[in-house]
C-alpha cells in the first residue's frame, strides 16, 4: 500500500496551486485622483493660506487625507510663477505685491516605470496624478 505517498503529494501540490491561483498576484496600488481642498480660497492680508490634498487610490486605504504630495503653483494660463510658493505641507504664500488668482497644485507619482520628459508648470506630466485649486492673493 505504497500508493498513498504519491497521491497525498499530488493532492497537496494541487491544493497549493489552487490557493496560489485564488489569491492571484498582488495589485499595484495606484493613485486614481487627487483633490485639493478647498477648491478656491482668498488669502488673508498675511498672504498665507493652508490647503490640504486628498488622495484616492485603487486599493485601501483610500481616501488618504492629508496626502503627502508634491506641491506648487502656476499662473492661470499654465505658465510658471514666483508669485506664489507652496510648502511641502500645502501652505501657500503669496509673494509681496502679488494680486491675482493662481493655480495651486498637488501631485503624487504613480510608479509605472515610464520615462517622462513632459512636465508642466502646473504639476502635470507622465504618471502624475494632479489636483488643483485656485488661490487669490490680496
Residue 17 lies in a domain: no
Residue 7 lies in a domain: no
Q: Look at residue 53 and give its three-state secondary structure.
A: strand
Chain Cα centroid distance, residue 83: 24
Q: Are 84 and 53 in contact (CB under 8 A)?
A: no
The boundaries of the domain holding residue 51 are 27-136
Domain count, the chain: 1
Residue 82 lies in a domain: yes
pLDDT digits over 88-137, tens only? Answer: 999 999 999 999 999 999 999 877 655 566 667 787 777 788 999 999 99
Report the percentage of the chain scoring pLDDT > 90: 59
Q: What's the pTM?
A: 0.74
CB neighbour list of residue 54: distance below 8 Å, 6 or more residues apart: 34, 35, 36, 37, 63, 64, 65, 66, 67, 131
Residue of higher predicted confidence among 43 and 9? 43
pLDDT at position 54 over 90? yes
Could you tell me the CATH number of the domain that includes residue 90?
2.60.40
Taking residue 95's Cβ as centre, other Cβ atoms within 10 Å add up to 12
Residue 38 lies in a domain: yes
Residue 127 lies in a domain: yes
pLDDT at position 66 over 70? yes
Give the model's pLDDT for residue 52: 98
Residue 121 lies in a domain: yes
pLDDT at position 15 over 90? no
Amino acid at each position: 500500500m505504497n500508493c498513498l505517498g504519491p497521491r497525498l503529494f499530488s493532492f497537496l501540490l494541487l491544493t497549493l496551486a489552487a490557493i496560489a491561483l485564488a489569491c492571484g498576484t498582488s495589485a499595484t496600488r495606484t493613485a486614481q485622483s487627487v483633490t485639493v481642498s478647498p477648491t478656491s480660497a482668498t488669502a488673508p492680508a498675511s498672504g498665507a493660506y493652508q490647503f490640504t490634498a486628498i488622495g484616492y487610490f485603487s486599493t485601501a486605504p483610500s481616501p488618504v487625507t492629508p496626502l503627502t504630495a508634491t506641491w506648487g503653483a502656476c499662473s492661470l494660463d499654465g505658465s510658471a510663477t514666483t508669485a506664489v510658493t507652496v510648502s511641502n505641507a500645502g501652505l501657500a504664500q503669496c509673494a509681496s505685491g502679488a494680486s491675482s488668482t493662481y493655480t495651486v497644485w498637488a501631485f503624487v507619482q504613480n510608479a509605472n516605470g515610464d520615462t517622462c520628459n513632459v512636465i508642466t508648470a502646473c504639476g502635470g506630466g507622465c504618471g502624475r496624478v494632479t489636483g488643483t485649486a485656485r488661490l487669490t492673493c490680496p
